[in-house]
Amino acid sequence: MKLKKWLAEYKKITYAEYKAFSDYDRWAMEEEFRQFNRREQIHASQNWRPMTEEEKEKLDIVLEKERIRYETSLKIGGIDESGNYMALSHRWENV
């Protein structure tokens, strides 16, 4: 994405307004633009795209199952103090 397009689309200012800023402010905006471009490049290289509604529903189902599993393990002593799962052989009930 070009700087002029980015300024108009994301900063809502024209290139002439951008040129009127101080050197430091222009440098700060250019740095933000470089970081924005880098994120776009990373997303493109990873074939990143927003989740569809169907994918969100599937994720919600998986997260609900994981929450139920975690709560069940918590009740029977399968979670340590830091919140990690423990092997059955390390639980106090089985020692």
Q: For the segment 3-31, what is each residue's pLDDT rounded down to a tens digit?
A: 888 888 888 888 888 889 899 998 998 89
Name every residue whose Cβ is closer than 8 Å to that of residue 67 and which is 6 or more positions away in sequence.
none
Residue 94 has pLDDT above 50, yes or no: no
For residue 60, the tally of other CB atoms under 10 A from its CB is: 10
Q: Please state the pTM of the whole predicted model.
A: 0.45
- Position 95 scores a pLDDT of 43
Residue type, 17: E
Phi then psi for 48, rounded to 5 degrees? -75, 145
Q: What pLDDT digit, counting tens, does each position of 44-93 carry?
A: 888 888 889 999 999 999 999 989 888 877 766 677 777 777 766 665 55
pLDDT computed for residue 44 by the predictor: 82
